[in-house]
Amino acid sequence: MTTVLVVGGTGTAGSAAVSELASRGHTVRVLSRHAPTDLPGGATHTPGDLLTGAGVPEALTGVDVVVSAANGQTRATRPVFTDGARTLTAAARDAGVRRLVLLSIVGVDRVKFAYYEALVEQERIFTQSGLDTTVVRCTQFHSLVRSLFAATARVGVLPAVRGARFQSIAPADVGRALTEAALAPTPVARIEIGGPEPESMRDLAHTWKRVTASRAVVVGLPVPGAVGRFLREGRNLTPENRYGTTTFEEWLASNGS
């Protein structure tokens, strides 16, 4: 049995990894600043803050593997990717942790903007930590695509970036990939995983509209500049690494629209 600390274990991917690890009978700790309202059977919470370092060394006591799915979505929280990564990897090294698994994004190094640049730096910090590290790059979550459409539907539109495709993946499949990386006999430096099939953003919008019975109008939008080119060229996709088994439509049907 392996003892695993899941950092960001209350988020979308982190909680999926916690559930998968716990279902396989491993000892799972969740590091977060605030106690979650519920955890899968057997998993425990340990308080800690990556930016201040408070509680991190204590959380790592006796840990074999660290899975990091920490997220910094705002400018204020983005240092969790850099300063937080330095705090975590240094403490893991001191604690004798044998492996790190880091969640990242497919194509993160193929376009320049602040969020992705912070993730690239996080990858560098982990891979240069001196510990066996596996970086798991995945495509966008089904839940992210759903959230985007749900938000814009409130004003009556569903955006479909022209030429953009997404290979979205179910969070449970991401949790499974993180678990397999954590438990693999031999670590792999980096793997990429994607959903079952790349789909145009227009098709995804129509799928969401049909499943939800929304009256919002699908609107094609141009996106100029580097980000638009990144999407049109499919640099956010990994069709050769289909890993997810649940389509966007199947996921919507089983997880609520």
Mean pLDDT of 107-128: 96
Long-range contacts of 15-20 (CB under 8 A, 24+ apart): 15/171, 15/175, 16/171, 16/172, 16/174, 16/175, 16/176, 16/178, 17/67, 17/69, 17/174, 17/175, 17/178, 17/179, 17/182, 18/43, 18/175, 19/172, 19/175, 20/172, 20/175, 20/176, 20/178, 20/179
pLDDT above 80: residue 257: no
Q: Mind listing the pLDDT tens digit for each residue in 35-91?
A: 887 888 789 999 999 999 999 999 999 999 999 999 988 888 899 999 999 999 999
CATH number for 3-138+171-193 (one of 3.40.50.410, 3.40.50.10950, 3.10.25.10, 3.40.50.720): it is 3.40.50.720
Contacts of 198 (CB under 8 A, 6+ apart): 165, 166, 167, 234, 237, 239
Mean pLDDT of 123-142: 98
pLDDT above 80: residue 256: no
What was the pLDDT predicted at 255? 87
pTM to 2 decimal places: 0.95
Instruction: Give the angle subtended at the CA of 19 by the CAs of 88 and 168, to the nearest 5°.
Output: 85
pLDDT above 70: residue 3: yes
**Longest CA pairwise span in the chain (Å):** 56
Using CA atoms, how far apart are residues 109 and 74, in angstroms rounded to an integer? 19
| Domain extents in the chain | 3-138+171-193
